[in-house]
Structure formats: C-alpha cells, structure tokens
A = this chain, B = another copy of it.
C-alpha cells in the first residue's frame, strides 16, 4: 500500500512561463491512469446524466464523480454494498471520485443542523432523518469504493463573517482529522486502493485559508481540495483565493478546485496551479440547450440557428459536432426530444475534455499564456456579436 501511494500522483512537468503555476501530472488509480489538469464529469447518481459509459470512454474521460449524499439516499448503502461498490454497480471501468456528501447536505437537504460531531439533516426526497459524521462518511465511501474520496467539511455560504469562518475552519479541521483516523482504521472493501484528500476551507479570508492549511496534516492526505469557492463570490475573488492557497499546498500532491467551473475559470485556475476540476456546467447547460463551441457558448434554441445547416463546431469534433448541424440540434430541442440533451451533453463534455487536453499540451510546450489568450479571445468573440 505504501508504494502505491507514492505512485498515485506524479508531476510530469512544470510550466516555465513566468507567473504560470500550471503543471502537468499523472494520476494512477487501481482503475485508470490519466493526466492532470483533468476535468471530471459529474455522475451524481451513478451515471453522468444522459451520457452512457461508452460515450465517456469515447471521450477519454479517465475519471468521473459520484455524489455520496445522493448515492447514500439512493440506492443506499445496503444495495451499494451488495453490488460490490459503485464501479461494479454502474459497470464503470475508469476511476471514480466521491465527495463526502457534506456539500449536498448544505445545498439540498432540509432542516440541516451543523453539530459538533457532524451534520444532521432531512432527506430532500422523503424527509427521512440522517446524520453525517466524519466516521460515517468515510464508512459510506468505503462502501461506494471510489478511488479518491473526500473528508467531511463545512462549506460556508458566501458571504460569511470572519467569525463564522473561523469557527467553521475549527470544525472542518477537526472533522478532517477524524476522517483521516477513520480512513486509517478501515480498509478498501473491494481490493483496490482508495486515496483520501483533504479540503481547505476558510471562505474568502486569506488568514482563515492559511490557518486551515497549516492545521490540516497535508502530507497525510493523497491530495488537497480547495472548497468553499464558486459559491457566489466574484470570479476575481475566487482566482485570488485559489492563487493564495496553491502557494501553500504541497507541490507533489494534486490540487482539486471543487465545483469549478466555466472554461475561463478552468484556464485561470490551471494558471494558478490547480490540477483537478469537476462541475455540472457542461452537462446541466447541455440539457438547457446551452452549447459550448470554440466560438463561445451559444443558446441553440435561438431562432437564428433554425436554418444553419453547418456542423455545430468544426474545430472541436465530438460525435455530436462532427455529425449534426445547428438546425438539427435546435429542432431536437424545440421538439423536446430526449436526444437533444444526449447529443448536447456528449458535445459539452467533449468540449471540456478537449480543452483539458489542449491545456496540458500548452503547459508542456510552455505556451500556456498565449494558448489561454487565444482561446478566450475566440471564445468570447461570439458573445460580443
């Protein structure tokens, strides 16, 4: 087990561009090997909405997310355990990461109450009462069996006061240490290694972020996430806090900016040293007809696309963009056909994963800055029209 921890993450190269903290790395789990910076499609309930595993393999998605809160409620730990974990249950051959469930408790559950030892809540589905503690979120994630798992933290809303934040950082640090103990006292149930990350909280206060980083035993975790951002604060604040945090994080562990973000957010955050991203934007926007193209994000329902018989993107070729026109995809959306969401989701995920591939290439070739500028200039041009 010791040697596999060493191999879990390897930095392959650092950008040598001035002011660019980007790096290319490689993560190896018991299920797959993939390079960072990586975007992880969100598979909340044991599937990426509207997208088959086959599509995900085609898109070369090396890792996807599951949400512990959702999976704990449905199908529940008993069925998940009998299924032999989420990889088996959904027949996913790549890597999986699960969050602790904490974030969804704060954002979805009703009657939630943060207590000293965890968080009490009522299910958003049926109102049933539950309690997440550091010990039981680790136990649940052992049952789900993701390759990368997260500790219980408290994610504050924005804005939060300095006082709230300090109390919250205390709690988060204590919970994460308890998660680490629970993790070390238990074992993977299905024969493959699981890696526990830590999460840095501290809202938008640099002092709180720094204290959180100092009090978490970073080296005992396989990677470090930055949580509590992209919760309503301005982009500039998010970039600034991210930049601040990565200066203090360990170089040889992957850094994961949770829940981020737009293509621009990803580019800015890679520049500031982030290796891992997850976000519902590509798939959620897809279901609403918002399509990412190299010329910007478009609303395919717009009447101006009704007679546009060109392929929707000739530079970012996915199954969708290589085969179908603006007019056809619009027709599917206007006709409320399920295939609209399917094709749009495949394309948007393909767009994100191609972006990450291009980013890694640019970092390797030490031209990340110009890549970012060119990408954004083109990407934003459509929005100005």
A residues with a Cβ closer than 8 A to B are: 45-54, 70, 74-75, 79, 82-84, 88-91, 306-307, 309, 319, 323-325, 327-328, 331-332, 334-335, 337-339, 341-343
List 6 tightest A-B contacts by C-beta distance, closest first.
Answer: A50-B338, A45-B335, A47-B339, A75-B331, A91-B323, A74-B335
Number of copies: 2
Chain B residues near A46 (CB, 8 Å)?
328, 331-332, 335
Q: In the assembly, what is the distance between CA of A53 and CA of B49, in Å?
A: 19
CA distance A319 to B54 in the complex (A): 9
Which residue of chain B lies nearest to A88 when distances are taken between CB atoms in the complex? B309
Q: From A84, which residue of chain B is reached at the shortest CB distance?
A: B309
Closest to A90 in B: B328
**CB proximity of A87 to chain B, nearest CB, Å:** 12
Does B327 lie within 8 Å of A79, measured CB to CB?
Answer: yes
A13 to chain B, nearest CB (A): 36
Q: How far is the CA of A83 from the CA of B337 in the complex (A)?
A: 19
Pair B334/A74 contact, Cβ less than 8 Å: yes
Q: Is the CB of A91 within 8 A of B328?
A: yes
Besides A45-B337, A47-B337, A47-B339, 14 other CB < 8 A contacts? A45-B331, A45-B335, A46-B332, A48-B339, A50-B342, A52-B343, A53-B323, A75-B331, A75-B334, A82-B307, A82-B309, A83-B325, A338-B338, A342-B342
